[in-house]
Amino acid sequence: MNACIIGASGYSGRELVSLLALHPNVCLSAVTSRSLAGSPLEAALPRMRGKAQNLSFSSPNPNELAQSNDLDIFFLALPHGTAAEYASPLVEAGKRVIDLSADFRLSCPKLYEEFYGAPHPAPELLEKAIYGLPELHALSWEKSKLIASPGCYPTSILVPLAPLLEAGLVEREGIVINSFSGVSGAGRQVSENLLYCERNESAAAYGLPKHRHLSEIEEQLNLAGGEEVVVSFHPHLAPMNRGIATTISVPAKGKLNTQLIEDCWAKKYLGRPFTQILPSGEFPDVAHVNGTNRIDFSVVADGRTGRYILTSAQDNLLKGAGGQAVQAMNICSGFEETAGLP
């Protein structure tokens, strides 16, 4: 399978380069970047020396890429709004597309406009897209040629929380979520608040009270719970390069029993290679998952408040971005789910 990464110079794009260049079932055939067009891949990404010989960045042209006969799958590692400009001609041409932006994660164009501040650039494709969280949704190219890879924060929340709402073990109201992300989650753009001296030895909330990912989180939780779910979501930037640590406080429905929670997870994620349920009282740590496509999670009961406290940790650039996209490709293409993934 010949793959193309559009927007390969960003953090998520670079992770995709590393994964696909060594994937046993994929040939990384093209990488695009407006800023690096003409540059050899190995010069721009020195860690790829000896692994991507004769491959250079090209300037992306949506229509030319759509007409290509020697590329089988396209990964869009582009900002929201821009990704749709490429997805539209590619999908129309019958190409397989995995989009890492937010452009096709929501089903409602009005919701997209509310949270992203602009009309949806390709609303006609929303019904065709599949939300690509492999642990929660059945994925296949037969269902759709367009997969919307989930956001990093939503993944860290949905994996532990969605099955509990689906099983009716927790209440739909009063859910409070705190997440801490490494600075790479903000992308590679130049910004004063992302400078080393600003972020080192510093941690702060941002995007309150309606971070963009809140729309995606609540839409997926609504689907899991079968009714409207409203959460209070508080993201923070932490002084680390990568990783997401999330804590979810959720009211129990009925008597507290952590074994019920763990049994629910074990049933839901039976045979899933990238979910790791930790014993109650053992808390996930980003240091233990960074560099992997794994998400660790656990539960403790708070008898004083009648709540479960769920915690999770993942690598925001792998399970929260590039790794999850490759995982989805593997499943849809009939490869081993773990192929090419750490």
User: Percent of the chain beyond pLDDT 70?
Assistant: 96
| Cis peptide bond prior to 279, omega within 30° of 0 | no
C-alpha distances (whole Å) from 2 to each of 161, 246, 256 are 36, 36, 50
C-alpha distance from residue 83 to each of 38, 89, 104 (Å)? 21, 11, 9
Q: Nearest Cα to 26, choosing from 5, 43, 10?
A: 5
CATH fold group of domain 153-314:
Dihydrodipicolinate Reductase; domain 2 (3.30.360)
* For range 274-280, the mean pLDDT: 98
One-letter identity of residue 130: I
- Boundaries of CATH 3.40.50.720 in the chain? 2-149+321-333
Structure tokens that stand for 2 in this block: 């010949």
Active site residue 27: no
pTM of the model as a whole:
0.94
Is residue 197 predicted with pLDDT exceeding 60? yes
Average pLDDT over residues 264-268: 98
Quick one: which of 131, 86, 89 has its CA closest to 107? 131
The pLDDT > 90 percentage for the chain reads: 85
Question: Boundaries of CATH 3.30.360.10 in the chain?
Answer: 153-314
In Å, how far are 54, 61, 92, 101 from 85, measured between CA atoms?
28, 10, 12, 12
Can you give the pLDDT at residue 200? 78
> Who wins on pLDDT, 297 or 203?
297
Give per-residue pLDDT as tens, 171-186.
999 999 999 999 887 6
Q: Which CATH number applies to 2-149+321-333?
A: 3.40.50.720
Give the DSSP letter of residue 136: T
Using alpha carbons, select from 96, 100, 73 the residue that is nearest to residue 2. Answer: 73
Q: What is the pLDDT of residue 192?
A: 66
Catalytic pick among 152, 197, 264, 332: 152
